[in-house]
Structure formats: C-alpha cells, structure tokens
C-alpha cells in the first residue's frame, strides 16, 4: 500500500472511475471469498415470495453500492495514509457483498436497482466531503453507516422465509463483516455521531430502501 503515496491526483481519479465501473457494471466485481450461499440448497419459493426476497436483496445490493461509493470518496480525500488504506481495504471487502447479492438477485429472476448510479454518485460525494472535513468525521461516518446497514440486515433476516437458506447465509455473513467495519472505524479514531445525526441518516436510508425495493 505504501506505493500508493506516489499516485498523482489524476491517477487517483482514474482509479476511482475504474472502481465505479466495477461497482455498477453487472458481474464486474470479482469476490475474494465464495458466496456463503454456495453450500446451501435452493428452496422452492412461490412467485410473490421470490419477488419479495429479490426486493430485499436488491436493497442490500444497493446498500453495498452506497458503501463502495462512500469508501471510495473517503479514500480520495483522506488526509492520513493509514486512513486511506483502511477505507480501501473496507471497500475491497464490500465487493464480496456486492457480488453475493447480485448472484442471489439473478437466481431469484430479478435485477439490481436501476437507481444504483444515482445512489453511487450521492454517496461518493458525501464520502469525499467527509474526508475533506477530517479523518475523524470520515471514520465516524463509516461507523454510523455500518450501524444503519446492520439494522437493515436484522430486519431483512426476520422477513426472509424460513426455508430460504441461501439468502439467509449471505445476510448473516454480511452482518458479521459490517459489524466489524463499524467497530474498526471507531477504534481507528472515528467520531461517535450524536442521536440527531443518526436519526437523519435513518430517514435518508428509508428513501433508499423504499425506492430500491421497487426499482
């Protein structure tokens, strides 16, 4: 990672463009870990149930698109090399989640959200601004965002049909990873956001979940 200090601003912009394409283009992200769903048997789901599960997995996929954009934006503007490296490492791990969710969505006969480019752009901007303000705020934003993701995952785990072991295995592993990202961000010096800020983030996340579920 030390060699990255020699990258020019233009180099970094090209790297960010490459990351955006790998996030948004179908099947372009290559996971470093196999999907937890591989070892689970496929279950019989009726059409309305499969459509509902696909909607839930589409929300989770869009959430990972937002996480990728947030991390990439923060990495672009982070002031300390170790913070930049932490953001880039977390983004690499989120690629696994992206790929797993997309695989499951396709298996359910559906597709990722058409709004992903919009959410990517908005999240990238938020991450870049947070990084410009301070690394402490940037890391705090990661922790608060991951807390929101964990809440969504808990809700979706409760909504999954009892026999959908494939989707459940994916969401359980994602939850473990997201919780670890939140803890790591706080341990690295992230700011603990006050309740009103978290409440505002919750309201924004509801806009994303409702639109991604349908589109």
Binding residues for Fe cation, by number, are: 64, 94, 97, 146, 178, 181
Both tokens of 180, joined, read 């670890």
Are the beta carbons of 19 and 91 closer than 8 angstroms?
Answer: yes
Q: What's the rounded Cα separation, in Å, for the pair 39 and 98?
A: 18
Both tokens of 53, joined, read 């599960």
Q: Is 47 helix (H, G, I), strand (E, B) or coil?
A: helix
Q: Work out the angle at residue 151's Cα, subtended by the Cα atoms of residues 45 and 19, and round it to the nearest 5 degrees.
A: 85
Are the beta carbons of 138 and 191 closer than 8 angstroms?
Answer: no
Close Cβ partners of 159 (under 8 Å, ≥ 6 residues apart): 52, 56
């Amino acid at each position: 990672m030390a060699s990255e200090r020699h990258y020019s601003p233009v180099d970094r912009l090209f790297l960010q463009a490459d990351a955006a394409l790998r996030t948004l283009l179908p099947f372009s992200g290559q996971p470093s870990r196999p999907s937890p769903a591989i070892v689970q048997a496929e279950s019989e789901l009726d059409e309305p149930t499969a459509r509902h599960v696909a909607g839930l997995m589409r929300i989770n996929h869009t959430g990972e698109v937002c996480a990728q954009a947030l991390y990439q934006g923060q990495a672009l503007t982070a002031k300390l090399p170790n913070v930049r490296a932490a953001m880039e490492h977390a983004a690499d791990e989120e690629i696994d989640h992206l790929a797993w969710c997309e695989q499951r969505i396709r298996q359910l006969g559906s597709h990722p959200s058409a709004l992903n480019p919009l959410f990517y752009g908005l999240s990238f901007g938020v991450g870049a601004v947070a990084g410009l303000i301070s690394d402490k705020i940037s890391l705090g934003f990661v922790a608060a965002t991951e807390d929101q993701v964990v809440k969504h995952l808990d809700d979706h785990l409760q909504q999954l049909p009892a026999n959908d072991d494939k989707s459940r295995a994916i969401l359980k592993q994602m939850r473990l990873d997201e919780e670890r990202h939140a803890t790591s961000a706080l341990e690295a010096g992230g700011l603990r956001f006050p309740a009103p800020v978290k409440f505002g983030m919750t309201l924004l996340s509801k806009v994303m979940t409702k639109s991604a579920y349908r589109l």
